[in-house]
Amino acid sequence: MKQRIGIATILAGLGILMVGYLKVKREAPQSDLVQAPLPEVVDYNFHIKPILSDNCYTCHGPDANKRKAGLRLDMEEEALGELPENPGKFAIVPGKPARSLLHVRIHSRDENQVMPPPDSKLSLTWREKKLLEKWIEQGAEFERHWAFMPPEKAPLPTVTDTAFIQNEIDVFVLRKLEENGLQPSPRADLPTLYRRISLDLNGLPPSPDILKFADIPAERVGISDYIDSLMKLPAYGERMTQNWLDIARYADSHGYQDDSYRSMWPWRDWVIHAFNENMPYDEFLKWQLAGDLLPGANREQVLATGFNRNHPITQEGGVIQEEYQSAYVVDRTNTFGKAVLGVTLECAKCHDHKYDAISQKEYYQVYAFFNNVDEKGLQMDAVQAAQNHFFADPPFITITREETEKLLSIVNMEDTESVNVMVMNDSMPRQTYVLNRGNYDEPGDAVFPGTPEEILPFPDSLPKNRLGLARWTTDPANPLTARVFVNRIWALLFGQGLVRTPEDFGVQGSLPTHPELLDWLAADFVENGWDIRYLLKKIMLSATYQQQSRLTPELRQADPENLLLGRAGRFRLSGEMIRDYILATSGLLNRDIGGPSVKPYQPPGLWEETNAGGNRGILTKYEADSGEKLYRRSLYTFWKRTLPPPNMTIFDAPTRDFSEVRRQQTNTPLQALALQNDIQVLEASRVLAQRIIGSGQAEGTWVPEVFRTILMRHPSQGEREALGRFYRDMYQRYATRPEDADPLLQVGSYQLKDTDRARTAALMLTAQVIYNLAETITRE
Amino acid sequence: MMNDNPLSEHPLKVNRRHFFSQLSVGIGSLALGSLLIPDLFTRSGPTQVSPAPGLPHFAPRAKRIIYLFQAGAPSQLETFDYKPTLLQRMGEDLPESVRQGQRLTGMTSEQERFPLMPAAVGFKQYGESGAWVSDYFPYLSKIVDDLCFVKSMHTEAINHDPAITFFQTGSQISGRPSMGSWMSYGLGNENKNLPSFVVLTSRGKGNSQGLYSKLWSSGFLDSKHQGVLLRSGHNPVLYLNNPDGVSRSDKRHMLDHVATLNELHQNATGDDEIESRIAQYEMAYRMQMSVPEVMDVTKEPEHIVKLYGEDCQVPGTYAANALQARRLAENGVRFIQLYHQGWDQHGNLPDEMAGQARDVDQASAALIIDLKQRGLLEDTLVIWGGEFGRTNYCQGNFDPKNYGRDHHPRAFSIWMAGGGVKPGITYGRTDEFGYNIEENPVHINDFHATLMYAMGLDHEKLTYKYQGRRFRLTDVAGNVIDDLLA
């Protein structure tokens, strides 16, 4: 009873504390902002445009239909001009805040006057108002949106600590750090660095013999060779492809509710091949966007255009095909915008873009490029499709076994005789219209292929078809293509892009943390022939990349989000990488390349529970493969859109219903459960344990050996002791009750070796503990 | 030393946040010896999903939602929207003046005639409210005075996939967060041992359409707001069970070592994610107890089993899910989403309808009664309905004993109960053909706005900025329907 009262008192006290805490927390940002000094020179792109865009453009921006009072703030001429509905008055008078209605209205206390109006639920902070005032005072200068100006190499800034510098990247990074009174972190130790590079380039742990180099003094020569050697491995192409599959919304099923099988995997094999050949990025895009239109296009170039057909296709009975044909073109258009240009084109589908200077008309001009495909929509339901081996909607190419022995050797046919792959053609020219509110049955004005003027006008010299679009896209003058790609590569190596919104380089997207660095890298990438390996290596050889990732107390205080890059990125591995890591370290990984997707372990019943019931074609029931196919790399795992592999989605994989260029990084209890209880992980632990026990080494070496095999470093004293204790406890437990060891060791179908049961079980659970460590699933 | 107390947690370094979570579990075990106690410190634990600052926007009427989704779209004309005119004009063509160019699906676009078809069964009025209910629903008819019927729902979508996506996410296009995810994002979790948004599925014998994980996806919101599918059988949450030969105390011992090693590494790296990961492992450990406990209906007393019907003891049935929904509601789960498949009656409607209704009638009524008798109905909002309506003309051969109805987006019926909506009313009215809305239309966006209002959320204010745009469940539309709220 006494205890209860005590607790109640504590509760009451904490309640009061909490209320106080929340209150302070809510008010804090405001007071922070009051104290932050205003910049010397207010920059339009970096300070002003984000405020205007976020708060004003909805009514005073690019969307002509929603514009109020005729005022447009995103264009200099209109913003500075006389207000059409208020003769003699101006929203902005450069140098004269008091005469600028913009300034007056944002400070107004009259509910009917104040901007933004109360019903918008938006409001400006004190700092934002001050910034606007200062900008007007300083002459209210406009600039083009930063990402729509072609990137150029700015001169390298001056820095103090030149010892840090390995290449140009470091100069830009160091400059920012020094401006903020910070120092870069020391170089990571070699085992960490090797593991980092291997994960980044191959998506796999380094080979175990890398531990031998751990004692070599830190010399970068070795790193350069190491990078080269990993880039030559086929695993490099697989790793790069893994990322491209989200972007290209690749799947092995059609999506929508019937969601039956499709055979697009030869396209995936082509992507692996393209990366392993180090195809320049401009070619890589050109082939995928318009390989079929290249002069004398060969089969490989046509195959590459499968990129545009990876979108979901409905098989629902009774759909209006015209509606869906439009949806497919929309998907291609949006994917092109998001994946290639890093622009939210889709916002202009139903109306002029609210923030970016992209009109609805321009949206349909891009749409027009993708609108001439002779596509039918799937003509069969899932059951008929299974009976007729109808796994591709026209147009498709049929790849035969014979062909894969010659030109298309990149496709791994396995035991298949021929396979149909959906591709592009322009054999059904359609007139494109602006679709009113985006509705397929409300055509407006006719439009012709074209691109958004603000980004880069479409030159008359180019053909008005996808090939022209591909050339426009890869024109060095295109301000977006290289920047967007360089940013994604940066994100691959740091966990975050220099632009934190890789999907949106428009005015509502994040501003780059290091604009000059991003532009320098983009320009350098194009100068060097869009060479992807060159770009990766350039970044990886920088001192910035090779820093340690430790979050020191100073950095935690000054830059917890690592915006200034004073340390290397550390982030959780993707679900695919975690599974591959476990397969590789346990020795189970099957390194075959390409071929039809495989079905590793999955909890039973998942497909059956959610499909439409009864026989729904060949994807009605999940039947796991057996033998070696259980251990293929995760990019070959069968992807059914309505129920993607749970051990991937639990780790934030998207459904692939549409293009995604970045994954979330969450940390959930379901992840903890998957790592503890997925058969794949348990089996790997068991196989690793029996392998080490079977190697004949003394028992005392087993635990450290498991540790080294998984984490690629030697355990510390504390780690050694903790794990040793655990192993002994578990050994006693299973030696006392051997009947529990048997079912545990039976997990998975890989052959059980005749090793001591209790010891194997104990070492297996020790491996389980290590596989569940944060370090194991973190790229440091 | 092994620790055999299944409730104990790994002794983390004591910091402020952890102090809270330790304490709350301590109280939970002291008080009930059960993990199924809504956490007293709903905003404190590290594993908690806390509401965003400033939320809810105003006093909520409902704290949680149970959505009994009838997937495939039950016909309004055989459930709650009684249309005697269809009987009088049976077999006549739907007048063009009524159809008004409504687009047709590919199922009936080739059809030469659109003969009006009345319901195969009778309708009667019930209760003080005098609500009309078809003879397919003898149990629901007894509780009509607790229900709030909306007969004027409408949508733009005419095919299942976009229509159900629209209902669940406020958009026909894939990729937006589900309703339950929005609620979790806005209001957080009441129970630190269970997810805030759970999904239960069942399937009737009627013609059914698939379900997809995107329907309970958190879209661009943090994945912690994603719906967790609770499955019938021994593994209700994916990967929940320990492997054979590993006991709960073995698991405790393992987790203690994982945590010890993780802490060592956190000290070396300064990575706060590690602390959070340790907390997630503890939550997972608790879920291994709490989920099977909440799912276990075998200890429900006889009168409850009778109330829901014998099926409620058969895992995977609608009745079992309805009973589990009550248990989840009792335990503070914010959004409980049921789907019952099989309502797509393009043909053989009378037979299939009878079967589907049998599946859901008793258990749906039982859920309302049960919540009410526990005092939970007042702050639990229950919703029953599908993704669109069905045509008043028949699809296929004109045969009053064996007909079908095609998809109809312009008007359909749902009902709600509890959680601040008016009991015993009927809102909205369709024309005598049950085809167009004559009074008080309720669009899906309005419906969402109203649900959010009941939960204390302003649908225009609960936004999430993604790709430069502030997204809402109601997109750019939606009005709260005040007349539905008590």
> What is d(CA A520, CA A512) in angstroms, rounded to the nearest whole number?
12
Mean pLDDT of B59-64: 93
Q: Provide the angle, in degrees to the nearest 10, between the axes of the packed helices A757-771 and A738-745.
A: 60
pLDDT for A295-309, tens place per residue? 999 999 999 999 999
Domain residue limits at B117: 63-243+285-484
User: Is B7 exposed, middle or buried, given 0-12, 13-18 or 19+ CB atoms closer than 10 A?
Assistant: middle
pLDDT for B33-48, tens place per residue? 344 444 433 333 333 4
Q: Provide the angle, in degrees to the nearest 10, between the axes of the packed helices A679-694 and A669-677.
A: 40
List the structure tokens of A683.
């089996």
Tell me, what's the pLDDT at A19?
37
Tell me which residue has tokens 């099926």: B311
Residues of chain B contacting A555 with CB distance shorter than 8 Å: 270
Which of the four pLDDT bands, split at 50, 70 and 90, describes residue A20? very low
Mean pLDDT of A242-262: 94
Cβ(A610)–Cβ(B210) below 8 Å: yes
Tell me, what's the pLDDT at B10?
55
Tell me, what's the pLDDT at B5?
45
Most confident of A148-162, B360-374, B471-485: B360-374
> What is d(CA B366, CA B32) in angstroms, rounded to the nearest whole number?
27
Tell me, what's the pLDDT at A36?
60
pLDDT for A378-388, tens place per residue? 888 888 888 88
The pair phi, psi for residue A511, each rounded to 5°, is -80, 150
> What is d(CA A7, CA A639) in angstroms, rounded to the nearest whole number?
51
Which of the four pLDDT bands, split at 50, 70 and 90, describes residue B58? confident
Q: Which of B41, B274, B284 sits opposite A673 (nearest CB)?
A: B284
Domain-located, residue B152: yes
**Which residue in B has a C-alpha nearest to residue A569's C-alpha?**
B271
**Which residue in A has a C-alpha nearest to residue B223's C-alpha?**
A666
Domain-located, residue B57: no
Contact call for B407 and A318, based on CB within 8 A: yes
Domain-located, residue B305: yes
Contact call for A723 and B257, based on CB within 8 A: yes
Which of the four pLDDT bands, split at 50, 70 and 90, describes residue A539? very high
Neighbours of A518 (CB within 10 A): 24
Q: Is the pLDDT at A3 greater than 50, yes or no?
A: no
> What is d(CA A392, CA A96) in angstroms, rounded to the nearest whole number?
64
Tell me, what's the pLDDT at B235?
83
Contact call for B212 and A551, based on CB within 8 A: no
Contact call for B250 and A642, based on CB within 8 A: no
Tell me which of B224 and B309 has the higher pLDDT. Answer: B309
pLDDT for B381-427, tens place per residue? 999 999 999 999 999 889 999 999 999 999 999 999 999 899 999 99
Query: A29: which DSSP letter?
Result: H
For residue A428, give every residue at least 6 positions away whose Cβ sits within 8 Å of its Cβ, in sequence order, or none. Answer: A372, A373, A374, A375
Task: Give yes or no for A561 touching B (CB within 8 A).
Answer: no
Which of the four pLDDT bands, split at 50, 70 and 90, describes residue A411? confident
Q: Which residues pair with A590 in a beta bridge?
A: A632
Q: Which of B20, B239, B250 sits opposite A678 (nearest CB)?
A: B239
Tell me, what's the pLDDT at A507?
82
Distance from CA of B403 to the nearest CA of A (A): 17
At A288 the three-state DSSP class reads: helix
What CATH code is carried by the domain that includes residue B444? 3.40.720
Neighbours of A464 (CB within 10 A): 15
Tell me, what's the pLDDT at A381?
83
**End-to-end CA distance of chain A, in Å?**
50
Q: Which residues pair with A586 in a beta bridge?
A: none
Cβ(A503)–Cβ(B467) below 8 Å: yes
**Which residue in A has a C-alpha nearest to residue B20's C-alpha?**
A14
Please name which of B146, B447, B192 lies closest in space to residue B334, comparing C-alpha atoms: B192
Neighbours of A723 (CB within 10 A): 22
Q: Is the pLDDT at B478 greater than 80, yes or no?
A: yes
Tell me, what's the pLDDT at B267?
92
Which of the four pLDDT bands, split at 50, 70 and 90, describes residue A144? confident
Q: What is the count of structural domains for chain B?
A: 1
Tell me, what's the pLDDT at A214?
56
- Taking CA atoms, B426 is separated from B132, B216, B445, in Å, by 9, 29, 19
- The per-residue pLDDT of chain A, averaged, comes to 90
Cβ(B424)–Cβ(B148) below 8 Å: yes
Q: Which of A11, A672, A741 sits opposite B284 (nearest CB)?
A: A672
For residue A719, give every residue at least 6 positions away whose Cβ sits within 8 Å of its Cβ, in sequence order, or none. Answer: A707, B261, B264
The pair phi, psi for residue A691, each rounded to 5°, is -65, -45
Q: Is the pLDDT at A34 greater than 60, yes or no?
A: no
Q: Which of B159, B245, B469 sits opposite A741 (nearest CB)?
A: B245
Peptide bond into B56 cis (omega under 30): yes
At B65 the three-state DSSP class reads: strand
Tell me, what's the pLDDT at A212?
63
Tell me, what's the pLDDT at A16?
39
Domain-located, residue B96: yes
Helices (H), B188-238: none
Calculate ∠ Cα A127-A133-A137, nearest 5°: 140
Q: Which of B54, B210, B346 sits opposite A612 (nearest CB)?
A: B210
Mean pLDDT of B305-332: 95
Distance from CA of A62 to the nearest CA of B (A): 14
Calculate ∠ Cα A377-A379-A385, nearest 5°: 120
Q: Is the pLDDT at B28 greater than 60, yes or no?
A: no
Q: Which of A670, A730, A774 sits opposite B265 (nearest CB)?
A: A774
Amino acid letter, B190? E
Cβ(A357)–Cβ(A369) below 8 Å: no
Contact call for B244 and A18, based on CB within 8 A: no
pLDDT for B200-229, tens place per residue? 999 998 988 888 888 998 888 887 888 999
Please name which of A411, A414, A391, A415 lies closest in space to residue A403, comparing C-alpha atoms: A411
Mutate which of B221, B256, B265, B337 to disrupt the A interface (most A C-beta within 10 Å)?
A: B265
Residues of chain B contacting A673 with CB distance shorter than 8 Å: 237-240, 284, 287-288
* Distance from the Cα of residue B155 to its chain's centroid: 19
If you count them, how many residues does chain A have? 780
Q: Is the pLDDT at A244 greater than 60, yes or no?
A: yes
Q: Is the pLDDT at A18 greater than 60, yes or no?
A: no
List the structure tokens of B46.
């590290």
Task: Give yes or no for A572 touching B (CB within 8 A).
Answer: yes
Q: Which of B161, B241, B244 sits opposite A257 (nearest CB)?
A: B161
**Which residue in A has a C-alpha nearest to residue B237's C-alpha?**
A670
For residue B281, give every residue at least 6 positions away whose Cβ sits within 8 Å of its Cβ, in sequence order, or none. Answer: A669, A672, A772, B10, B255, B258, B259
Calculate ∠ Cα A633-A635-A639, nearest 5°: 125
Which of the four pLDDT bands, split at 50, 70 and 90, describes residue A424? very high
At A728 the three-state DSSP class reads: helix
Where are the strands (E) in B45-188, listed by range? 64-70, 123-126, 131-134, 147-154
Q: Which of B47, B175, B269 sits opposite A550 (nearest CB)?
A: B269
Contact call for A11 and B469, based on CB within 8 A: no
For residue A79, give every residue at least 6 positions away whose Cβ sits within 8 Å of its Cβ, in sequence order, or none. Answer: A71, A72, A73, A91, A92, A142
Q: Are strands A571-572 and A778-779 parallel, antiparallel or unpaired?
A: antiparallel
Domain definitions of chain A by residue range: 1-32, 44-143, 248-463, 677-779
Mutate which of A58, A772, A779, A780 to disrupt the B interface (most B C-beta within 10 Å)?
A: A772
Contact call for B2 and A716, based on CB within 8 A: no
Mutate which of B238, B253, B273, B408 to disrupt the A interface (most A C-beta within 10 Å)?
A: B238
Task: Give yes or no for A742 touching B (CB within 8 A).
Answer: yes
Contact call for A674 and B239, based on CB within 8 A: yes
Q: Which residues pair with B64 in a beta bridge?
A: B380
The string of DSSP letters for B295-310 reads: H--TTS-HHHHHHH-G
Mutate which of A343, A668, A726, A730 to disrupt the B interface (most B C-beta within 10 Å)?
A: A668
Which of the four pLDDT bands, split at 50, 70 and 90, describes residue B69? very high
Tell me which of A258 and A656 has the higher pLDDT. Answer: A656
Residues of chain A contacting B242 with CB distance shorter than 8 Å: 676-677
Peptide bond into A116 cis (omega under 30): yes
For residue A28, give every residue at least 6 positions away whose Cβ sits within 8 Å of its Cβ, in sequence order, or none. Answer: none
> What is d(CA B220, CA A503) in angstroms, rounded to the nearest whole number?
12
What region, left, alpha or beta, does residue B467 occupy, with left being phi > 0 and alpha being psi -120 to 50 degrees? left
Domain-located, residue B38: no
Contact call for A642 and B214, based on CB within 8 A: yes
Q: Is the pLDDT at A740 greater than 80, yes or no?
A: yes
Domain-located, residue B14: no
- Taking CA atoms, A322 is separated from A418, A440, B262, in Å, by 31, 7, 56
Residues of chain B contacting A669 with CB distance shorter than 8 Å: 47, 280-281, 283-284, 287
Distance from CA of B239 to the nearest CA of A (A): 5
Lowest mean pLDDT, pick from A394-408, A457-471, B119-133: A394-408
Q: Provide the angle, in degrees to the nearest 10, between the axes of the packed helices B272-295 and B318-330.
A: 130
Peptide bond into A395 cis (omega under 30): yes
Task: Give yes or no for A407 touching B (CB within 8 A).
Answer: no
A-B interface: how many C-beta pairs under 8 angstroms? 250
